Amino acid sequence: MELDRAQISLLVLLAKLGLLAQTLMFSQVKAAIRHQEAVLTSQGSSHLNWALSFSTLAATAAAAARRASQPFRSERWSRRLGCGLQGLSPAFGVPQALVDDTEDVSLDFGNEEELAFRKAKIRHPVATFFHLFFRVSAIITYMGCDWFSRSFVGCFVTVLLLLSFDFWSVKNVTGRLMVGLRWWNQIDEDGKSHWIFEARKASPNTVAATEAEARVFWLGLIICPMIWIVFFFSSLFSLKLKWLALVIAGISLQAANLYGYVLCKMGGESDISKITASFLSQTVFQTACPRDFQKPGLEGLEIHKY
Amino acid sequence: MAEAAESPGDPGTATPRPLMRDLKAVGKKFMHVLYPRKSNTLLRDWDLWGPLILCVTLALMLQRGSVDSEKDGGPQFAEVFVIVWFGAVTITLNSKLLGGNISFFQSLCVLGYCILPLTVAMLVCRLVLLTEPGPINFMVRLFVVIVMFAWSIVASTAFLADSQPPNRKALAVYPVFLFYFVISWMILTFTPQ
């Protein structure tokens, strides 16, 4: 086996990119002080340029994460406990649109960055980028294995690493930041294991998920496992069985995240067809931006359970 | 799924889970395997990242010189992978069917982490194989593999045996014994090209 030098350096670069992004986001979240900086006034336009330069990404990520730490502190989480333990079961409902920000202008004076944050279509550009980056590059690497190098092992390890990074980042980072959902497993004192699924309740203090981010999140979450299932059948029927282990690992990792987040989103709803219908209608038949709707009207649609 | 608990100290922030915390948890579990003690850390906060790293390392080290040739007799990379994970899943199913009160992922976690001594044995064997072949070479490798095999068994039964009812302990431990035996066998019979 020997990994090529190029592949080793690619692996190292990917790992560094991943770690750097995480460090940037988290170190800023820890800071509790809001700085009024000149760079923040230009955030409105730079949000849409996130793909262009990494330095802009870093600055935007730092500022966005700092902003993110503010509204989330006082939010509420509503929880759906798995395994038959019914407690607080939320209905998250459809993702709410951006809050009407004309209300805020007259009341808050030092809040330009809040406004810029709320106006932005994509509030967490780094998280959005990495949500898609690892998944898509795992798929591309798998498909391009025969062209990049002859080494089965190098390709296997690279794809597996990318899938692991993707699993970790989607489960722990992008789900929370982009759509406000999280899930995990907890073992209590008796040794019983509970699966816990939570959805963040949108309240007037917090900003709800934007539609663009929610759409990117769910489409990324759903399409990639389907592509891996296609790979499964293609490797099965073309009898390239040594790739089957990798494809099965890929399917299980991605399907686990999908399943976890679907359960979070379902909350109290036990009827999955209703959820898919509402999701489809929302993404396909999206018409005018609901920014024109006033907040009180939207609040009527949310179902808060306690 | 690949790791367990949120700490209860996150009262509801949406801050992303820190990477360093997960890495430290993995490192702590490695220490627990190397010095087996009666503690619940491996069981309570399970995660599967350690087993994944160990499995990949072991499979990489069990590779021969020419990767894709069918002529060598050693296990291919994917075979090692499949043996480790499929074996661990089978043992877990067995222990659950025997009435153990350990959860699926906890058991996978323990079995995966207890491969660490055997991975160390593989490393040592590879180093020893750099010297000239001969009976002394083989004896050293045999000794190292036997010691590490015993270490793995002791470490895993320290965690797993408690979860079984008393009259079933031997039945639950026997597949673990087999599992680590197969891996030790692969390590011992490995000869690079």
Q: What is the tens place of the pLDDT at every residue in B21-78? A: 888 888 888 888 888 776 666 677 888 899 999 999 999 888 875 545 554 434 578 8
Collapsing DSSP to helix, strand or coil, A190 comes out as: coil
Residue B130, Cβ neighbours under 10 Å: how many? 8
pLDDT of residue A22 exceeding 70, the answer is: no
pLDDT of residue A286 exceeding 70, the answer is: no
Mean pLDDT score of chain B? 82
Mean pLDDT score of chain A? 68
Q: How confident is the model at residue A284 (pLDDT cuts 50, 70, 90)?
A: low
Query: Most confidently modeled of A66-70, A114-118, A293-297?
Result: A114-118
| Residue B52, pLDDT score | 93
pLDDT of residue A301 exceeding 50, the answer is: no
B76-116 pLDDT tens trace: 788 888 999 999 999 999 888 888 778 888 889 999 999 99
Better pLDDT: B187 or B45: B187
Give the residue numbers in B contacting A (CB under 8 Å), as ranges.
Answer: 1-6, 12-19, 22, 43-46, 49, 52, 56, 60, 63-64, 67-68, 76-78, 81-82, 101-103, 105-106, 163
Chain A residues close to B86, C-beta within 8 Å:
none
CB A25 within 8 A of CB A173: yes
Interface with chain B: mutation pick from A3, A155, A185, highest number of B CBs within 10 Å = A185
Residue A150: which of B5, B68, B77 has the nearest Cβ? B68
Chain A residues close to B56, C-beta within 8 Å:
157, 160
| Residue A258, pLDDT score | 93
Distance of CA A39 to the CA centre of its chain: 26
Chain A residues close to B103, C-beta within 8 Å:
187, 191-193
Residue A47, Cβ neighbours under 10 Å: how many? 21
Cα dist from A246 to B52, B53, B143, whole Å:
13, 15, 34
In whole angstroms, give the CA distance from residue B11 to residue B4.
17
Q: How confident is the model at residue A32 (pLDDT cuts 50, 70, 90)?
A: very low
| Residue B53, pLDDT score | 92
Residue B4: which of A153, A185, A256 has the nearest Cβ? A185
pLDDT of residue A53 exceeding 60, the answer is: no
pLDDT of residue A203 exceeding 70, the answer is: no
Residue A191: which of B15, B78, B101 has the nearest Cβ? B101
Counting one residue from chain A and one from chain B, the pairs whose CB atoms sit within 8 A come to: 110
- Phi and psi at A201, nearest 5°, equal -80, 135
In whole angstroms, give the CA distance from residue A54 to residue A134.
16
Better pLDDT: B143 or B19: B143
Q: In the Cβ-directed half-sphere of A157, how many Cα atoms lie within 13 Å?
A: 26
| Residue B150, pLDDT score | 94
In whole angstroms, give the CA distance from residue A27 to residue A75.
21
Residue B17: which of A68, A172, A257 has the nearest Cβ? A172
Mean pLDDT of A193-211: 74
Query: Most confidently modeled of A64-78, A92-106, B55-69, B84-98?
Result: B84-98
Which one, of A117, A125, A102, A99, lies nearest residue A40 by Cα?
Answer: A117
In whole angstroms, give the CA distance from residue A248 to residue A142.
13
pLDDT of residue A48 exceeding 50, the answer is: no
Q: How confident is the model at residue A90 (pLDDT cuts 50, 70, 90)?
A: very low
In whole angstroms, give the CA distance from residue A45 to residue B142.
66
| Residue B98, pLDDT score | 84
Instruction: Kindly provide the residue ranges of all beta strands, DSSP E only, lying in A86-179, ordered along the sequence.
Output: none
| Residue A95, pLDDT score | 41
Min mean pLDDT across A71-85, A210-224, A266-280 is at A71-85
Q: Is B13 exposed, middle or buried (0-12, 13-18, 19+ CB in 10 A)?
A: middle
Mean pLDDT of A72-76: 47
pTM of the model: 0.67
pLDDT of residue A151 exceeding 50, the answer is: yes
Quick one: closest CA in B to A181, which residue? B14
Residue A166 sits at the vertex; the CA angle it makes with A165 and A168, to the nearest 5 degrees, is 65
In whole angstroms, give the CA distance from residue B8 to residue A184.
12
Q: How confident is the model at residue A142 (pLDDT cuts 50, 70, 90)?
A: very high
